[in-house]
Amino acid sequence: MKFKLLNVAICLGLLNGCAAQTFTLNEGNTATPTSQTSQHFFISGLGQEQTIDAAAVCGGVENVIKVEAQHTFINGLIGTVTFGIYTPRDAKVYCNTN
């Protein structure tokens, strides 16, 4: 029984996918994010939202290069282990440093 449960858990873990939504606002060097935060969601984020003021992070909207929301493998693994009760996501803001 334990072996079957372990197999089911491994299969569910392998079904997790990664996803990223990227919004490019201005041209510039996007090698490293200026700000990177983990956003916390519960019950798979049902009816929840998180906001980041990218203009405040970069010191003005003209300095924002891109904003990215990412669901990584580790985030999916955490969501699987907690049966979707806790599902984190990563948010990154890239600023023009010139």
Residue-wise pLDDT for 20-68, tens only, equals: 778 788 777 666 788 888 888 898 788 888 888 989 998 888 888 889 9
Number of other CB atoms surrounding residue 45 within 10 Å: 17
Model confidence at 15: pLDDT above 70: no
The percentage of the chain sitting over the pLDDT mark of 90, rounded to a whole number, equals 9
Considering only residues 5 and 17, tell me which one the structure prediction assigns the higher pLDDT.
5
Domain coordinates in residue numbering, the chain: 2-95
Number of other CB atoms surrounding residue 15 within 10 Å: 9
Q: What is the pLDDT at residue 17?
A: 65
By the 8 A CB rule, do 96 and 45 touch? no
Q: What is the pLDDT at residue 8?
A: 75
By the 8 A CB rule, do 16 and 80 touch? yes
